[in-house]
């Protein structure tokens, strides 16, 4: 109990420190922009504060009081003469903000958001120097009969080049494919199992509707079945009398090594298993003997490790040794990946009422065999309330059993954050994905650093602006808006991941502040820019009364946005 308390306190400190540093730096940079340009134009700055509310530390070496305030969710620069109702003596007007030429005032206001933009560019440059971990050019699972499989790709391949261009990161490969729908692409691919030979594959991406909400393209090129995603080595056993079941292996454990070879994904486990059996059979005196294989497993909850030795009869060993390259050899000893296993049955659901239980393995729906969890979800969602109950076949305790289920309409949140109604039976998959193969991508030389800095900044400005636009067009739900608690969670999680991920989220939030502050809402910098732009065009400022009304409206809008963000933050916490 004490260990849990200490661990919780350490996590609170690390998350809190990451949050304070991130937000403090971004606020400081923003206010520093206002401060420096104001000083440049001779405006007297009275207060430079990080935070709002009661001042807990202050220092005043000259005209400006520097202070830290109690609430660390913002900051401000108080300039002399920024109140239009104040009476400014004639001799002091040279230091007054509102008595400066309008274009100087615009520069002072614009400097804050621009500093957030430049700071983000600087961070992206630092990340390029440090290097960023990203998904590599290793292919994940390639389903049989998919376009990628038909073209010649196999699970675990390494894409060495695309149309002669060498790429280390998967996102570069994906971007290249997306931009070339209907055009032939030549891939140079290396086989990772066997002799490591290279081969050429030519395939044309098919134009598909883009499901990525944060993309500017409506349609992109895709090669069905080609991705870096692979199923993990977590196991499911539906027959306790199988070789695996009799050896003591349990559903939910993960194979971490096989005969001393460390494993990452299920297809690796299949290949290592078949290769190990074939080699042992070949080296046996008669070639007809039983074969033993050591499975090292980890309980994913307790993290305990154990080794189980499976004795394979000669007949099964020979069958495995003679199998095809991509054969599902582990199922011959009773082991399956967890994609079609049920991990949890929801209380009060149709599945519970029908009699389904955890670790049932789904076989078919209405006599149609299932080959993926996606195929099962599709079968359930396509149910018509006028039709007969679904006949769901599952494997349990070595037997195939049939259940009649009537799916129920349930509310679910889609990728855009909106609630939609679909048929469901109330089960959750046990599927776990393997950690992808990663690579550290670094910039070589100042030219690449500058290029990465500019490109990443432009990309994230576009993505952030697009997200604001989609919110306004209601293509993305307002539930996706996050506040200080989301920033706390993001900063803490990325801080634990390493310096580059932490710096990246800092740069992204800085760009968000850049765009947010430019929104034409009174009380924000964008609102002030609107006022001063109108003044520049008409040659006179708006009346104090009109600006006060606009400020009050802006304050209500801003407070509403903050309340919505906080509401979303707490909703996410309680829903999870």
Annotated catalytic residues are 31
Angle at the Cα of 246 from the Cα atoms of 245 and 249, rounded to 5 degrees: 45
Rounded-to-integer distance, Cα 513 and Cα 507, Å: 10
Q: Are strands 336-337 and 235-236 parallel, antiparallel or unpaired?
A: antiparallel
Which residues, in sequence order, are CB contacts of 111 under 8 Å at separation 6+? Answer: 33, 34, 36, 37
Taking the C-alpha atoms of residue 116 and residue 25, their distance in angstroms, rounded to an integer, is 10
* Per-position b or e across 152-165, b if 16+ CB within 10 A of its CB: ebbbbbbbebbeee
Taking the C-alpha atoms of residue 263 and residue 437, their distance in angstroms, rounded to an integer, is 12
CA distance 89 to 277: 93
Q: Cβ of 54: how many Cβ atoms within 10 Å?
A: 9
Six-digit token pair at 438?
């990663």
- Measured CA distances, 69 to 57, 60, 237, 400 (Å): 7, 15, 59, 67
The edge-to-edge listing of strands for the beta sheet with 254-258 is 261-262, 254-258, 291-298, 305-312
Residues 484, 489, 494, 495, CA torsion sign: positive
Report yes or no: 105 and 97 within 8 Å, Cβ to Cβ. yes
What are the structure tokens assigned to 400, written together?
Answer: 């195939």
Nearest to 271 by CA among 285, 259, 283, 289: 259
Residue bearing tokens 């903000």: 97
109 within 8 A of 528, measured Cβ to Cβ: yes
User: Judging by DSSP bridges, how do beta strands 198-203 and 206-209 pair with one another?
Assistant: unpaired
Q: Where are the extended beta strands (E) located within 229-276?
A: 235-236, 254-258, 261-262
If we measure between CA atoms, which residue out of 439, 428, 356 comes closest to residue 393? 356
Query: What one-character DSSP code corresponds to residue 338?
Result: S
Question: How far, rounded to the nearest angstrom, does the alpha carbon of residue 112 sit from its chain's CA centroid?
Answer: 29
- 205 and 180 Cβ atoms separated by less than 8 Å: yes
d(CA 214, CA 476): 10
């Amino acid at each position: 109990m004490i260990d849990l308390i200490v661990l919780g306190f350490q996590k609170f400190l690390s998350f809190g420190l990451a949050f304070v540093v991130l937000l403090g730096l971004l606020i400081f940079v923003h206010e520093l922009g206002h401060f420096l340009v104001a000083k440049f134009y001779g405006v007297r700055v009275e207060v430079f504060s990080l935070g709002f509310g009661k001042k807990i530390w202050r220092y005043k070496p000259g005209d400006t009081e520097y202070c830290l305030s109690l609430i660390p969710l913002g900051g401000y620069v108080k300039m002399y003469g920024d109140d239009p109702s104040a009476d400014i003596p004639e001799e002091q007007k040279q230091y007054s903000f509102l008595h400066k030429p309008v274009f100087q005032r615009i520069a002072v206001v614009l400097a804050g958001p621009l500093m957030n933009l430049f700071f983000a560019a600087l961070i992206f440059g630092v990340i390029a120097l440090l290097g960023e971990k990203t998904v590599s050019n290793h292919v994940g699972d390639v389903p049989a009969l998919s376009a990628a499989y038909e073209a010649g790709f196999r699970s675990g391949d390494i894409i060495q080049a695309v149309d002669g261009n060498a790429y280390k990161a998967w996102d570069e490969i994906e971007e290249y494919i997306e931009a070339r729908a209907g055009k032939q692409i030549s891939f140079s691919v290396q086989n990772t199992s066997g002799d490591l030979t290279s081969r050429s594959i030519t395939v044309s991406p098919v134009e598909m509707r883009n499901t990525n909400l944060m993309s500017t393209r409506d349609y992109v090129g895709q090669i069905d079945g080609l991705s870096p995603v692979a199923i993990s080595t977590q196991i499911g056993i539906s027959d306790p009398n199988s070789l695996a079941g009799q050896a003591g292996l349990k559903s939910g454990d993960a194979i971490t090594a096989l005969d001393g070879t460390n494993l990452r994904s299920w297809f690796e486990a299949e290949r290592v298993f078949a290769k190990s059996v074939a080699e042992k059979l070949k080296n046996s005196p008669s070639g007809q003997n039983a074969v033993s294989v050591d499975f090292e497993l980890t309980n994913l909850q307790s993290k305990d490790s154990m080794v189980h030795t499976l004795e394979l009869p000669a007949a099964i060993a020979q069958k495995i040794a003679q199998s095809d390259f991509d054969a599902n050899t582990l199922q011959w000893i009773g082991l399956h990946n967890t994609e079609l296993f049920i991990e949890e049955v929801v209380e009060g659901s149709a599945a519970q009422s029908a009699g389904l239980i955890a670790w049932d393995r789904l076989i078919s729906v209405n006599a149609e065999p299932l080959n993926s969890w996606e195929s099962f979800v599709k079968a359930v969602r396509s149910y018509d309330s006028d039709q007969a109950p679904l006949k769901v076949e599952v494997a349990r305790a070595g037997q195939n059993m049939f259940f009649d289920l009537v799916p129920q309409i349930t509310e679910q949140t889609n990728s855009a954050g909106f609630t939609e109604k679909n048929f469901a039976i109330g089960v959750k998959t046990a599927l776990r994905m393997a950690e992808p193969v990663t690579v550290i991508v670094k910039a070589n030389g100042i030219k690449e650093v500058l290029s990465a800095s500019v490109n990443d900044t432009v990309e994230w400005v576009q993505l952030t602006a697009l997200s604001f636009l989609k919110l306004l067009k209601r293509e993305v739900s307002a539930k996706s808006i996050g506040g200080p608690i989301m920033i706390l969670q993001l900063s803490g999680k990325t801080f634990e991941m390493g310096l580059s991920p932490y710096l990246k989220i800092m740069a992204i939030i800085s760009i968000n502040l850049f765009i947010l502050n430019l929104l034409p809402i009174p009380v924000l910098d964008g609102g002030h820019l609107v006022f001063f732009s109108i003044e520049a065009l008409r040659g006179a400022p708006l009346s104090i009364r009109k600006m006060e009304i606009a400020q009050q409206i802006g304050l209500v809008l801003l407070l509403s946005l903050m309340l919505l963000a906080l509401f979303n933050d707490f909703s996410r916490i309680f829903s999870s």
